[in-house]
Amino acid sequence: EDHSLVDFVSSSPGEGGRPAPEVMLVATKIDKVGRTEQFKLISSLGALVGSPALAVSSVSGQGKSDLGRRIALALERAGARR
């Protein structure tokens, strides 16, 4: 089911002929699993879309600043493609 959603979003053209939206996979509540499992999880999620997934925890703050930067970069790229 996750593969279907990623495929759908990745291949769906944007409105007005814009490119498909950028897909960013974010693993939330990453503090619930140990470091070794985090690495395995992030690696397998990244393989789904062919780009690195991001591990985020609101409890520990892990990954929050990286997430903000990646969203800002994605918005910049989207604006440049208009």
pLDDT tens, 24-46? 889 999 999 999 999 998 998 88
Q: For residue 54, give the 3-state DSSP assignment.
A: strand
pTM above 0.95, yes or no: no
pLDDT tens, 1-27? 566 766 666 666 656 666 667 778 899
pLDDT interval class at 55 (50, 70, 90): very high
Tell me the average pLDDT across 44-49: 83
Which residue type is seen at 72?
Answer: A
Structure tokens at 49: 């879309």
pLDDT for the residue numbered 6: 67
φ/ψ of residue 59, rounded to 5 = -70, -50
